[in-house]
Structure 1
Amino acid sequence: MKIKNKYILVVIIILFPVLSFSQEYNYEIDKEHFSLGFLVEHAGYAKTLGMFTKINGSFTHDEKANQISNVKIVVDTSSVFTNHEKRDSHLRSPDFLDTQQFPQMIFTADNIKITKDETTMNGKLTLLGVTKSITLKGKINKIAEYPFGFAPPVVMGISARGNFKRSDYGMIYAVEKNLVGDIVELIIEFEARRN
């Protein structure tokens, strides 16, 4: 009996640091409080503002290590919206997003170390079947109990910005004559609920 108790005590001592210092929480992006916008230059006159309206996303936050991991955001490419029906239809075509063949755009990232001011988020963006590295600059705005009655109540708010060349993914329509810009600027704002 004494040997058994000693064994249990040893196990507790070994596991205690893990239990004490690991504090991971899973978060799911709130679809009603998510904005994925983009800006693309139009023939040098102005930038066209668009967005994607359908997404799914989740990640893990380790409060003790102050780190985010297991990030996965899946975007429904057919949900592209620029407030211009004809243009949106063109964006869904093989000239641009080719949504019938490639219905999803996916961003993944891991081991993001959160810093006090601006956080660098190195990840992978898969678009048109091509996966490339991408860097976002972001900030955790707030982690707190939500004042609007959700359960579970803890919500995290994040802002991030970044850009990429669409030609890197094989999307070259109108790039050569600069009628449609090559650089796509990303504007990301969202809230995520702790599970």
Structure 2
Amino acid sequence: MRKTQLFSALALAGGLALSNSAFAEVKEYKVDPTHSFVMFSISHLGFSFVEGRFNELSGEFTYDSDNPANSDITMRVNTASIDSNHAERDRHLRASDYLHVSRHPEATFTTTRFEPNGDDGILHGDLTLYGTTQPIEVDVKFVGAGEDPWGGYRRGYVGTTTITLSDFGMNFQLGPDAETTDLRFVIEGIRQ
């Protein structure tokens, strides 16, 4: 009797494992623009910092629970949505002296590969900014995942990187402390 029970338990466990792997698949998420944003921080003449965010973005990402290295993201940021909490400065930042948003209305990021480390990892990808595309690395931290109050399922991450502005053809002459900009991506996705 015990052998029969043990065999049944092993068969059930094997069936569950097979069933779970059969249902495991790459999940697609749409970036929730009301809970996602890109923040920036740049030195102001070596005395302080100008910090702000881009308020309008869109994108999608995939998450492969069986093989997280297959996960990826594509993002598009409306450069005219820059918000440094100072209207006059924002107008100047949108102008040809800086972002020249009429010529470069969008910045994009597309994954080339992902190196997982548990739930976190390093995201490698191509950033297009100011009309120039350069490879960058983003340090990704998993925030959480689960059901939301409206019957959906969400997944969230925070990514950080530092870019050198001259790599993108941006030579603003803001002093040696302003040659780099820190970027922080807060991304929340809704599973489709």
Match of 2:100 in 1: 98
Q: Secondary structure at the match of 1:168?
A: helix
RMSD between superposed Cα atoms in Å? 2.0
Matching of residue 30 in structure 1 with residue 32 in structure 2:
yes
d(CA) in 1 for partners of 2:187, 2:147: 16
Aligned partner letter, 1:143: A
Does the 8 Å CA contact 2:72/2:114 hold for their aligned counterparts?
Answer: no
Residue 191 of structure 1: how far off its partner (Å): 1.1
Match of 1:166 in 2: 165
Residue 94 of structure 1: how far off its partner (Å): 1.4
Match of 1:193 in 2: 190
Does the 8 Å CA contact 1:68/1:114 hold for their aligned counterparts?
Answer: no
TM-score, length basis structure 2: 0.83
- For residue 59 of structure 1, the aligned residue among 56, 61, 72 is 61
Alignment of 1:65-84 (within 5 A): 65-84=67-86
Q: Secondary structure at the match of 1:78?
A: helix
Identity of aligned residues (%): 27
Does the 8 Å CA contact 2:108/2:129 hold for their aligned counterparts?
Answer: yes
Matching of residue 182 in structure 1 with residue 184 in structure 2:
no
Aligned partner letter, 1:75: V
d(CA) in 2 for partners of 1:137, 1:127: 19
Residue 183 of structure 1: how far off its partner (Å): 0.7
d(CA) in 2 for partners of 1:46, 1:164: 18
- For residue 43 of structure 1, the aligned residue among 26, 45, 60 is 45
Q: Secondary structure at the match of 1:188?
A: strand
Unaligned runs of 5+ in 1: 1-15
Unaligned runs of 5+ in 2: 1-17
Residue 86 of structure 1: how far off its partner (Å): 1.2
Aligned residues: 174
Residue 57 of structure 1: how far off its partner (Å): 0.8
Aligned partner letter, 2:183: L
Does the 8 Å CA contact 2:112/2:126 hold for their aligned counterparts?
Answer: no
d(CA) in 1 for partners of 2:113, 2:25: 15
